[in-house]
C-alpha cells in the first residue's frame, strides 16, 4: 500500500511569489490534514478535510493560504503571495475512520 506522498519535497521561492503544495493521501482515506512546522517550533495544525469538505480550518494563518480537495482525493495548499514567515515544513496526513494519522514526508518551503 502506498503511503502519503507530497510534492515537491523542497521549494525555494521569493517573497511575493505563489507556491502550490500537493498531497496525495492513502487511497480510501476520507480524512486529510495539513500541518506546518516553522523552524524550531511545534508542528501546528492548519486544516482538516473530510472527503472534499473542509471540516476544520481554524489553524489557517490568514487568507493568503488556500486549501482545496476537489473530488475528495488529492489536496493542494496554495500560498499567495508568500511571505518570509511562511517558511517551514508543511506536512500532510491522512486517516480512515479513527484516530491514527499517517504522515507524508513533508514539503520544505523556503521563502527568500
Partner 1 sequence: GNSVTQMEGPVTLSEEAFLTINCTYTATGYPSLFWYVQYPGEGLQLLLKATKADDKGSNKGFEATYRKETTSFHLEKGSVQVSDSAVYFCALITQAGTALIFGKGTTLSVSS
Residues 6+ apart with CB under 8 A from 57: 46, 47, 48, 67
DSSP letter for 18, please: -
| Beta carbon of residue 65, minimum distance to partner 1 (angstroms, whole number) | 16
d(CA 112, CA 99): 37
Nearest CB to partner 1, comparing residues 81 and 102: 102
Separate counts of helices (H) and strands (E) for the chain: 0, 11
How long is the chain?
Answer: 112
Distance CA 62, CA 35 (A): 14
CB of 98 to partner 1, least distance (A): 10
In the 8-state DSSP scheme, what is residue 41? S
CB of 47 to partner 1, least distance (A): 9
By the criterion CB under 8 A, which residues form the site for partner 1?
A: 3-4, 31, 33, 35, 37, 40-45, 48, 55-56, 59, 91, 93, 99-106
Rank residues 30 and 81 by Cβ distance to partner 1 and give the closer one: 30
Least distance (Å) between residue 23 CB and partner 1: 11
Quick one: 7 or 17, whose CB is closer to partner 1? 7
Nearer to partner 1, 35 or 65 (CB): 35
Amino acid at each position: 500500500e502506498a503511503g502519503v506522498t507530497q510534492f515537491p519535497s523542497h521549494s525555494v521561492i521569493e517573497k511575493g511569489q505563489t507556491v502550490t503544495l500537493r498531497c496525495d493521501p492513502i487511497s480510501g482515506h476520507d480524512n486529510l490534514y495539513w500541518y506546518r512546522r516553522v523552524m524550531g517550533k511545534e508542528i501546528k495544525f492548519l486544516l482538516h478535510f473530510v472527503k472534499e469538505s473542509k471540516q476544520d480550518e481554524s489553524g489557517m494563518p490568514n487568507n493568503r493560504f488556500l486549501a482545496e480537495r476537489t473530488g475528495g482525493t488529492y489536496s493542494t495548499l496554495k500560498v499567495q503571495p508568500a511571505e518570509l514567515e511562511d517558511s517551514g515544513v508543511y506536512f500532510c496526513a491522512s486517516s480512515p475512520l479513527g484516530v491514527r494519522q499517517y504522515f507524508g514526508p513533508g514539503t520544505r518551503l523556503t521563502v527568500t
